Amino acid sequence: MLSKKMEKAINEQINAEFYSSYMYLSMSTYFDSSGLPGAAQWMRAQAEEEWFHGMKLLNFVNERGGRVSLKAIDQPPTTWKSALAVFQDVLAHEQKVTGLINNLVNLALDERDHASNIFLQWFVTEQVEEESGVGAVLDKLKLIGKDTSALFTLDAELGQRVFTPPPAKG
């Protein structure tokens, strides 16, 4: 059974993950309207992944006998000045989420909630991958600068991304 403190903290993370999904969907529509369908696809895949994270947390609360309490999702930004600015925001956001996950792990340790700690380790690993993946895109965008033909090539590469949920544990 989850402590009330842990339940409340995970509920806040559920909201943060659903906000992330909403924010990436907004970024996707920005890229669609900017003529970058590959980047739009990348963001749609990211939105699906964040929704999956929220559902994973939601299911965990239910499995542990807790009560999920959904809250309103804040409106995300809708415009950026460039593709580089979007991905800089993505990295900053993922770094913030990493901090939130680390705080949940710290709470689980403080509460001696070993089940939550083990469960949250998946998210710790996931955040390393998130930051690394976004960092790689950012590095390419910085190298590209104002070269529109290189941006076109990167956009095609970004469009190959598809979110595939990890297989359920057997």
108-146 pLDDT tens trace = 999 999 999 999 999 999 999 999 999 999 999 999 999
Model pLDDT, residue 83: 97
Residue 166 is predicted with a pLDDT of 83
Task: Decide: pTM greater than 0.85.
Answer: yes
Q: What is the CA radius of gyration of the chain?
A: 17
Predicted confidence band of residue 33 (pLDDT cuts 50, 70, 90) = very high
pLDDT tens column, 54-108: 999 999 999 999 999 999 999 999 999 999 999 999 999 999 999 999 999 999 9
Distances in Å between the Cα of 151 and the Cα atoms of 25, 27, 38, 77, 99 are 21, 17, 10, 23, 31
SS3 (DSSP) at 75: coil
Question: Which domains are delineated in the chain?
Answer: 4-158 (1.20.1260.10)
Q: What is the pLDDT of residue 170?
A: 47
- Amino acid letter, residue 154: L
CA 15 to the chain's CA centroid: 12
Contact assessment for residue 163 and residue 52, using Cβ atoms and an 8 Å cutoff = yes
Per-residue pLDDT, 169: 63
**pLDDT for residue 82:** 96
